[in-house]
Amino acid sequence: MLRQIKPKNARSKRELAKREPLAHENTKTVLLLRGTSCSSLVQDLFSDINALKRPFSIRFTKKNDIHPFEDASSLEFFSQKNDASLLLFGSHSKKRPHCMTWVRCFGGQVLDMMETYVIKDTARTLMQFKGEKCKVGLKPLLSFSGAQFESPVSNQYTLAKSILADFFRGGEAAAIDVEGLQLMINFAAGEDSQDGSAAKIHMRCWRIVTKRSGQKVPRVEVEEIGPRIDFTIGRIKEAEASVWKEAMKKPKGTEPKVKKNIETDLVGDKIGRIHLGRQDLTELQTRKMKGLKRDREAEPEEVVDDMTSVRDGDIEAEQVKRQRTT
């Protein structure tokens, strides 16, 4: 359960009121920290991640004697002090080389954590890629490819997908300009190796370029801009059930009103259901068919009588006309 703090005076009461949950939360800020020993590779990658997350990122360069899985009180202090609910901690040791710890906080306390180990041989920084870079403050497109991310059972890969999406998704946007869709971040999970080691996660960043195609729809190309990170998952700490339930609550009034008989499919198209009254099929216009015509043999006498009556009437009228003329 979350720790409840009671204010001792009016000033502390005002400060706690500012930290209360809002109906529409601000964009989450990422705080980057380093431990007492941190490799140059991790520091360079922190610079690249800071460049991707600006202006919603803060980076500290001083050394901090912190062990997240043993004692997370220091991380909670930094989170409350800087109003940052996402933390990225870098360290390096012989047992855990090039380690990056991804931390999420809720209510000023650590919610869950994930430890990743960067593979040095395949890592590439942002400066090692030539070409134009993306502008600051762009909302990236995120894609996750791999069967491990879609597992129905919660595991380390589903936790990685949740944390990574929370780190890089950016702020909420009411409308999106197509010209602003210039950055795409892809996370791909490979297959488990034969020696029993877990599958690696490959992080790639691409710049979306639109060029002329001679038609209305432009030609789209992608260019890798870095950073390129391959890492394996180490230790994890999942959130407690009660705290996770509290963190997933939605305030009243923010959910859209449900409209009857209107649904939205996976693609985003609206599907409506219309209820009609009972139809009167007696007045329904059907196609004329030979089988529906009347039987001609059943009415020969009536037709003859009609014709004879018409002829008798014409004869009498002709006789009256002759008498008048004479």
Identity at 118, one-letter amino acid code: V
Q: What is the mean pLDDT of residues 141-163?
A: 93
CA distances (Å), 27 to each of 21, 149, 260, in order? Answer: 13, 25, 33
pTM here is 0.75
Q: What is the mean pLDDT of residues 300-320?
A: 55
Res. 250: pLDDT tops 90:
no
Write the CB contacts of 94 (distance below 8 Å, at least 6 apart in sequence).
none
Kindly give the residue spans of alpha helices, DSSP state H, lying in the chain.
10-18, 40-53, 73-82, 156-168, 241-247, 300-325
Q: What is the mean pLDDT of residues 293-297?
A: 61
Instruction: Give the lowest-confidence range in 33-47, 52-66, 213-227.
Output: 213-227
The residue that leads in pLDDT, 172 or 195, is: 172
Buried-exposed string 117-145: b where 16+ CB fall within 10 A, e elsewhere: bbeeeebbebeebeeebbeeeebbebebe
Asked if 89 and 103 count as a contact pair (C-beta separation under 8 A), the reply is yes
CA distance 64 to 36: 5
Percent over 90 (pLDDT), the chain? 48
**pLDDT at res. 274:** 85
Res. 313: pLDDT tops 80:
no
CA distance 257 to 254: 9
**pLDDT at res. 199:** 87
CA distances (Å), 313 to each of 277, 305, 325, 326, in order? Answer: 53, 12, 19, 21
Write the CB contacts of 79 (distance below 8 Å, at least 6 apart in sequence).
31, 85, 87, 105, 108
Binning pLDDT at 50, 70 and 90, where does residue 320 land? low
What is the average pLDDT value for the chain, to the nearest integer?
A: 85
CA distance 185 to 138: 12
